Amino acid sequence: MSTYELIGNGIAAFLTLCIFSFLYKDNPFYKFAERLVAGVATGYFTMLLFWTNFQDKVWEPIFVNGQYHYIFPAVLGIMMWTRFSKKYSWVSRYSLAFYIGIGSGVSITVYLYTYLFKQLQATISMPLTADIAGFNTLLVVVAVLSALVYFFFSKPHTGLFGYVSKVGIYILMVGFGAGFGLTVMGRIALLVHRVIFLRDYLIALF
């Protein structure tokens, strides 16, 4: 590592330890690092937004390339700023309405296709054979149906309906358990990454 990198990584190591100090208790070093990252992150995002988004999609199209039709969405975007005014905040609803209308309109078809139709198709087209694959298919069909029954709250979960929904919640618990097991791996990975960084820095330093 060069001297500049040693100093930079030294600052990184110091800030890492500031955050780790929170494990003992909240303290000024942790608060300092927490506020610093909030400020730096906001500043970074501001300049990213300015140079790569505002310049490329607003300034250059209108003032350099003469694409004046972009003035309409630009005005709508500026209208959003009226949210800060108690008297004129209703003006921002026009821009919001345009954005929400488009978002809602495109989402209906894709949500139905992705989350419902393709999933139903995949469930019913699984092979139903007299072997392990067939057993798995049966298990999946029963599991999906019973879990869906569990989420149907318009009818009391009593009698046969109650038994089926109970099977459903057992299946859901398997899903949540799998999720927890994988979450542990993910969280540990985040910690290991910092430990490896500190180890490598100490090795470089000495």
Partner 1 sequence: MKREIPILIVGITGFTMLIQYFIPTGWSEFIFTYAQDWTIVIGILALPLGIWSLVKANVSKLKVPGERFYSSVLLGGFLIMILTCLSRENIRMGSFHMDIFTYVLVPIQATLFSLLAFYVASAAYRAFRARSILATILLLTAFIIMFRFIPLGPISDLNNSVVTWILTIPNMAAKRALWMGIGLGATATAMKIILGIERTYMGHD
Partner 2 sequence: MTFFEKMMQIDRRWVYLAIGLAVIIPAIIPFNVPVSVSPEVEKIYDFVDSTDTGDYIFISVDYDPASMAELHPMATAIINQAFEKGIKIVFVTLSQFGAGMVEQLTNELATKHNKVVGEDYVFLGYRPYPAITIMAMAVDFRVPFPSDYYGTPLDSLPMMNGIKNFFDVKGVIDITSGNTAEFWLTYGNGRFGFPLAIGITGVMSADYYQYLQSGQLFGIIPGVKGAAEYETLVHYPGAGLDQISYQVIAHAVILLFIIISNVAYFATRRKKSKIGGSI
Out of 5, 85, 97, 118, the only residue in the binding site for partner 2 (CB under 8 A) is 118
Q: Which of partner 1, partner 2, none has residue 63 at its interface (CB below 5 to 8 Å by kind)?
A: none
Nearer to partner 1 among residue 19 and residue 157 (C-beta): 19
d(CA 92, CA 115): 32
Q: Which residue has the tokens 């969280």?
A: 187
Out of 11, 138, 195, 204, the only residue in the binding site for partner 2 (CB under 8 A) is 195
- Verify binding: residue 127, partner 2, rule CB under 8 A: no
d(CA 31, CA 110): 43
Q: Which residue has the tokens 């989420």?
A: 151
Number of CB atoms found within 10 A of residue 149's CB: 20
Out of 85, 89, 114, 129, the only residue in the binding site for partner 2 (CB under 8 A) is 114
d(CA 123, CA 41): 44
In the chain, the amino acid numbered 68 is Y
Region for residue 202 given its phi and psi (left: phi exceeds 0; alpha: psi -120 to 50; beta: otherwise):
alpha
In the chain, the amino acid numbered 15 is L
List binders of partner 1 among 145-184 (CB under 8 A): 147-148, 150-151, 168-184
Nearer to partner 2 among residue 83 and residue 194 (C-beta): 194
Q: Which of partner 1, partner 2, none has residue 118 at its interface (CB below 5 to 8 Å by kind)?
A: partner 2
Cβ-contact 113, 107 below 8 angstroms: no
HSE-CB of 47 using CA atoms within 13 angstroms: 5
Cβ-contact 45, 53 below 8 angstroms: no
Out of 85, 136, 196, 202, the only residue in the binding site for partner 1 (CB under 8 A) is 136
- Verify binding: residue 31, partner 2, rule CB under 8 A: no
Could you say which DSSP state residue 85 is in? -
List binders of partner 1 among 1-20 (CB under 8 A): 8-9, 11-13, 15-16, 18-20
Shortest Å, Cβ 179 to partner 2: 4
Q: Give Cβ neighbours of residue 91 (< 8 Å, ≥ 6 apart).
A: 79, 82
Out of 63, 78, 163, 199, the only residue in the binding site for partner 1 (CB under 8 A) is 78
Q: Which of partner 2, partner 1, none has residue 199 at its interface (CB below 5 to 8 Å by kind)?
A: partner 2
- Verify binding: residue 129, partner 1, rule CB under 8 A: no
Shortest Å, Cβ 106 to partner 1: 5
- Verify binding: residue 115, partner 2, rule CB under 8 A: yes
